[in-house]
Amino acid sequence: MEEKNRSVQEGGQTNYVTRLLRSPSEIEPGPWNELLELQSQPTPFMRHEYLLALHDSGSAHPQTGWAPCFITLWCDDILEAACPVYLKTHSYGEYVFDWSWASAYKRHGLDYYPKCVVAVPFTPVTGSRLLARSEPWRAALVDELLRVVQQLQASSLHVLFASDDELQACQRAGLMLRHTVQFHWSNALPGYRDFDHFLNQLTQEKRKKIRQERRKVREAGVQIRCSHGRAIATADWEFFYQCYCQTYAEHGNPPYLSKAFFLQHMAQCLPESWLLFMAERDGRPIATSLIAIDPARKIAYGRYWGALERVDCLHFDLCYYQPIEWCIEHGYERFEGGAQGEHKLSRALLPVRSSSAHWIVHAGFAQAVARALNQEQEAVGDYMAELELHQPFKQTQG
């Protein structure tokens, strides 16, 4: 689908063509990934290979309530701006919770679904979403988004886990911001020498607790090995997926991501973006954690965990301590542990603000949501201030 006769002001008036894509396969990976690398906060999850894998594996697909409608802006066959858009019939897999908004619509006899979401499905990682070669092109992309929302008769637009420059562009276009809290670990400059050096920067209470937790895992007879990239064996991927499904089963839900997504796509197309920690006891695997990494920017992302046997404190070691130790050894600057869980703070993952932008078509509901977001923003500020009182580091790190 194409729309002509659009223009953007960039050193004069430039005409462009808008193309709506029903699948990531309708665009070559080269132009998409090239544009991604120009952004302020690219992540492996916005690469064409990752987005295509979500679709081709049946994970994010119209049949699962994720109908792709990617927006691309072209000028003389050059991709100037683009973003992944999904027409959603539910709010699962987004991690910015708007169930109460949907309920309010229903109580008033209105349809909240479908809605438009700009996001990486099932991936609550902050990064670039509105890819553009310049700010004028980003502004044009946001304008196209608002037109498409109305064209598709969607109730609303949600730009999830976006970068700061994108959020500013959204605000200028009239979108409302919403904030939440995630927990990240940072490698203190010039970098910790080793894990003990890192522990020595913590308060005595926190340092003692971490050492006790790691000791419990060792005393339980658990050994942990790490594999990276193509060194992750097929059998390891198979066991990881078994653990991944177990985690969802324990919460009474089916897994979001299919087996094909990991074994047929990630293991083959993006192997260097993955780090697998495997816990074994008596020669048998019992638990795993899968970490995404960005070697170019030295950032690691905690993603998935699962266990078939319970061992006290194993979750903390596999999901936090092992990745942090690996990051220190390999000179990584940051480990993003994800959203939720004050328990991460005592393990030296500090709170950071993560934000999204929202636009509600219905004027009355837009005003109600704006009031609610103002109250929510105050609560998030209070929450972060409270977390700051429980800072795990000594007053002076060194």
pTM for the predicted model, two decimal places: 0.95
Q: Tell me how far apart the alpha carbons of residues 323 and 261 are, in angstroms, rounded to a whole number.
A: 23
Q: Where are the domains of the chain?
A: 2-183+353-388, 188-332
**Amino acid letter at 82?**
A
Which contiguous run of DSSP H or E holds residue 26? none
Predicted confidence at residue 395, as pLDDT, reads: 75
Residue recorded with tokens 């994010």: 60
Q: How many residues comprise the chain?
A: 398
CA 35, 39, 43, 45 dihedral sign is: negative
HSE, side-chain direction, 13 A CA sphere, residue 123: 27
Helix axes 29-36, 48-56, angle to 10 degrees: 130
**CA distances in angstroms from 107 to 182, 295, 357, listed in the order given:** 32, 48, 24
Fold annotation for 188-332: Aminopeptidase (3.40.630)
Do the domains 2-183+353-388 and 188-332 sit in the same CATH topology, yes or no? yes
Please name the helix (run of DSSP H) or strand (run of DSSP E) that holds residue 154, with its range, or none.
none
> Shortest CA distance to 122 belongs to which of 145, 91, 98?
91
d(C-alpha 336, C-alpha 126), whole Å: 10
The superfamily CATH assigns to domain 2-183+353-388 is Gcn5-related N-acetyltransferase (GNAT) (3.40.630.30)
pLDDT tens column, 184-240 = 999 988 899 999 999 999 999 999 999 999 999 999 999 999 999 999 999 999 999
The per-residue pLDDT string of the chain (398 residues; one tens digit each, 9 = 90 and over) reads 555 557 776 666 789 999 999 999 999 999 999 999 999 999 999 999 999 999 999 999 999 999 999 999 999 999 999 999 999 999 999 999 999 999 999 999 999 999 999 999 999 999 999 999 999 999 999 999 999 999 999 999 999 999 999 999 999 999 999 999 999 999 988 899 999 999 999 999 999 999 999 999 999 999 999 999 999 999 999 999 999 999 999 999 999 999 999 999 999 999 999 999 999 999 999 999 999 999 999 999 999 999 999 999 999 999 999 999 999 999 999 999 977 778 899 999 999 999 999 999 999 999 999 999 999 999 999 999 999 999 999 875 54
Distance CA 323, CA 37 (A): 25
Backbone φ, ψ for residue 83 (5° rounding): -160, 150
Q: Which residues contact 111 (CB under 8 A, 6 or more apart)?
A: 105, 155
